[in-house]
């Protein structure tokens, strides 16, 4: 084994608009994640799950000072702090953190932990930009805000626990966008983020787009966090997600992108999010998640 991955579960659906995604970590493990990684020559250590009380036990609609109305922000803070510590500890032990969501709000903890002792970039493989803030979000669901939170945008500027100061905007790349809110589009243009839509992938091909994304994300930093939302793929490939959008990446495009990630020094940290077993068919989406993780960690056909 040439690398070691520390698996960290974050079984939350605090940030989602549909229940069930909190079962994602169990579904991904059940689909054989450890075996898939070991077949790629990667040793695995399962660190269990962070503590995340059931959403039914909490009040979702809490108005937070200076942050407007969000859902479950206090619970998301608790999970993010736990997760950031575990991700940072894994890196300090020479292991690659592999976070299993849960909804995409868990990315706040992943990014904060990955950037604790290093300058990082990130590639956001997602149908959505996740750049809403409490002020601009149409729903108040934090799974549409984690990138804005980590970058301290808007009302998140003073939300210290959610900020990843050593995450550089110049090294943030979004790949595969196809559902972007008006406020997010404006922000993408104003801040100059590098973003590729599915139309860009159609025109240029997944290899060219991913190679360019990797070059930008890696430029001048210590490593890159890979955030893979399974709704990046077309719903025909990944039916078990809460916010499916037609016209996503194909099975082979997704594997090709992850293989390129592996060839480009591999991820500093990695997360799989938004697998919802209650919406899945025969655990198909969770199984696909394990395959893509293995490709990102170096598994090849030959």
Residue 57, in any domain of the structure:
yes
229 assigned to active site = yes
How would DSSP label each residue in 143-203? GG-HHHHHHT-GGGGG-GGG--TTEEEEEEEEEEE-B--HHHHHHHHHHT-EEEEHHHHHH
46 assigned to active site = no
Identify which of 127, 147, 126 has the alpha carbon closest to the alpha carbon of residue 136: 147
Question: Which entry of 78, 104, 280, 291 is annotated as an active-site residue?
Answer: 104
Question: Which entry of 13, 75, 95, 128 is annotated as an active-site residue?
Answer: 128
The model's confidence at residue 37, banded by pLDDT at 50, 70 and 90, is very high
Kindly report, residue by residue over 123-153, the tens digit of the pLDDT.
999 999 999 999 999 888 999 999 999 999 9
Residue 302, in any domain of the structure:
no
The model's confidence at residue 302, banded by pLDDT at 50, 70 and 90, is confident
Separation CA 264–CA 121 (nearest Å): 13
Separation CA 45–CA 245 (nearest Å): 34
Residue 63, in any domain of the structure:
yes
130 assigned to active site = yes
Region 167-174: mean pLDDT is 97
Question: Which entry of 22, 274, 280, 291 is annotated as an active-site residue?
Answer: 274
- Total domain count, the chain: 1
Kindly report, residue by residue over 68-123, the tens digit of the pLDDT.
678 889 999 999 999 999 999 999 999 999 999 999 999 999 999 999 999 999 99
Q: What domain range is 176 assigned to?
A: 3-296
CATH number where 88 lies? 3.40.800.10
Region 230-247: mean pLDDT is 97
Residue 88, in any domain of the structure:
yes
Residue 146, in any domain of the structure:
yes
104 assigned to active site = yes
Residue 290, in any domain of the structure:
yes
The model's confidence at residue 15, banded by pLDDT at 50, 70 and 90, is confident
What is the average pLDDT value for the chain, to the nearest integer? Answer: 94
Kindly report, residue by residue over 210-233, the tens digit of the pLDDT.
999 999 999 999 999 999 999 999
274 assigned to active site = yes
Separation CA 281–CA 189 (nearest Å): 38
Separation CA 44–CA 37 (nearest Å): 7
**Residue 69 pLDDT:** 73
**Residue 1 pLDDT:** 40
Separation CA 128–CA 174 (nearest Å): 9
Task: Kindly tell me if the per-residue pLDDT of 62 is higher than 80.
Answer: no
């Amino acid at each position: 084994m040439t690398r070691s991955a520390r698996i960290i579960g974050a079984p939350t659906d605090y940030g989602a608009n549909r229940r069930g995604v909190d079962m994602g970590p169990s579904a991904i493990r059940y689909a054989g994640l450890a075996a898939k990684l070991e077949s790629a020559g990667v040793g695995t250590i399962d660190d269990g799950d962070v503590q995340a009380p059931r959403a039914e036990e909490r009040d979702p609609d809490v108005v937070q000072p200076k942050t407007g109305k969000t859902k479950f922000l206090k619970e998301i803070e608790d999970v993010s702090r736990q997760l950031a510590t575990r991700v940072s500890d894994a890196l300090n032990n020479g292991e690659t953190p592999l976070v299993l969501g849960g909804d995409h709000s868990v990315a706040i903890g992943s990014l904060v932990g990955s950037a604790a002792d290093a300058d990082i970039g990130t590639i956001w493989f997602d149908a959505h930009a996740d750049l809403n803030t409490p002020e601009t979000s149409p729903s108040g669901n934090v799974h549409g805000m984690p990138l804005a939170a980590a970058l301290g945008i808007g009302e998140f500027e003073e939300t210290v626990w959610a900020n990843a100061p050593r995450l550089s905007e110049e090294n943030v790349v979004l790949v595969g966008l196809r559902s972007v809110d008006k406020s997010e589009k404006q922000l993408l243009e104003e801040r100059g983020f590098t973003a590729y839509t599915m139309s860009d992938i159609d025109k240029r091909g997944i290899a060219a787009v991913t190679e360019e994304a990797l070059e930008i994300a890696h430029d001048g930093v210590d490593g890159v966090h890979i955030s893979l939302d399974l709704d990046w793929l077309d719903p025909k490939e990944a039916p078990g997600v809460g916010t499916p959008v037609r016209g996503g990446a194909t099975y082979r495009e997704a594997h090709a992108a992850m293989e390129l990630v592996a060839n480009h020094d591999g991820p500093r940290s990695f997360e799989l999010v938004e697998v919802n077993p209650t919406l899945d068919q025969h655990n198909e989406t969770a199984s696909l998640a394990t395959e893509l993780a293995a490709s990102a960690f170096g598994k090849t056909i030959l």
